Amino acid sequence: MNKDEATRKFEQTKTLFTQHRYEETLAILDELDAAYPRTRRIMYPRALCLASMGRYREARQVCEELLICFNYPKAQALLAQIDEQEAALAQMPHAGQAPPARPMSIPMPLIQFDEDQLDYKPAAHPPLEVESSSNTLLYVVVAVVVVAAVGLAAVLLTRSDRGEPGQSSHQTPAAHQATAPATVAPEWHHDYSDALLQLRGQQNAPMLLFFYEDGSEIAERMDNEVFNEPSVLHFLKGWTLVRINVREEPGAAEEYHIETIPTTLILDPFGMEAYRQSGYVAARTLYDELSRLSFKPLKPPNFMPFLIALVLVVLVS
């Protein structure tokens, strides 16, 4: 029922009430009350109509609700008049019988829906059934279970990426070598520009840049003692490794402000410098830095847990 229809019906009730046609008036008011529950400008005429029909108990209930919800003074006045009517009827010979319908002395209020908009509250939804509370509880329980399952899956995935709990990430290279599986020698890119071209369009990964020049004894020592160390190779698995000869690629050396040969440079998966060391870097030192940084190649997001949760929610609802 829209506002215009409600206004038209209400005008009709005023005419019917002045003609003492209370049952017809009340029928329309009940219809308006169902469409716009707890509206003061509908509740008070209902109470007035009920009182005029001698249905004092129902009229009293509506007046008490008006006082609780709106503190409406006219409801208090109507209650006082109902008390007077009941007291007078109690002294009459037909006491205990239903009193005849008679108009009350309080007039029917003129109601305009354009006035007092605070009382104009259409019912957006029908009254909830009793069983809806149990359904709501069921949905809450299912949602909690789904969230817990997704959280557990995320924790397990995180642990699988970082290793089993209880294993220290700060083992010595020798100890790690004893437990690490046989590691294949990493593939080095020997051309910086070519390495960038090959990586374009692929998932990002942390990058180790090793700047050297031919004939450098320190660079040869690092090749033999550091970059062949199994514990270091284990950490470099999945990384992008680039050897840059500063004589052949001076542009790359200038880009990263290389002043000493050799220089070891680590870039995070976003291309930001995370570690720089000039000169010789011992295997233990590099291992500790790799362990501290513990970069992992960026992986595509795993939406499977969320898809499972979505399917469960749809099935339950």
* pLDDT the model gives residue 94: 58
* pLDDT the model gives residue 209: 92
- The β-bridge partners of 188 are 241
- The β-bridge partners of 193 are none
Domain annotation for the chain: domains and CATH numbers: 3-119 (1.25.40.10), 173-293 (3.40.30.10)
Residues with Cβ within 8 Å of residue 170, at least 6 apart in sequence: 288, 291
Q: Whole-angstrom Cα distance, residue 272 to residue 270? A: 6
Q: Tell me how far CA of residue 303 lies from CA of 21, 110, 153, 244, 315, in angstroms.
A: 67, 61, 11, 38, 18
Cα Rg of the chain, angstroms: 42
Q: Whole-angstrom Cα distance, residue 61 to residue 205? A: 74
pLDDT tens digits, residue range 185-202?
A: 678 888 887 777 666 555
Q: How far is CA 208 from the centre of its chain?
A: 39
- Check residues 104 and 267 and name the one with the higher pLDDT: 267
* pLDDT the model gives residue 63: 92
Q: Whole-angstrom Cα distance, residue 189 to residue 195? A: 6
- pTM more than 0.75: no
Instruction: Tell me which H or E stretch contains 155.
Output: helix 132-162
pLDDT tens digits, residue range 295-308?
A: 654 455 566 777 77
- The β-bridge partners of 189 are 242
* pLDDT the model gives residue 263: 95
Q: Whole-angstrom Cα distance, residue 226 to residue 44? A: 91
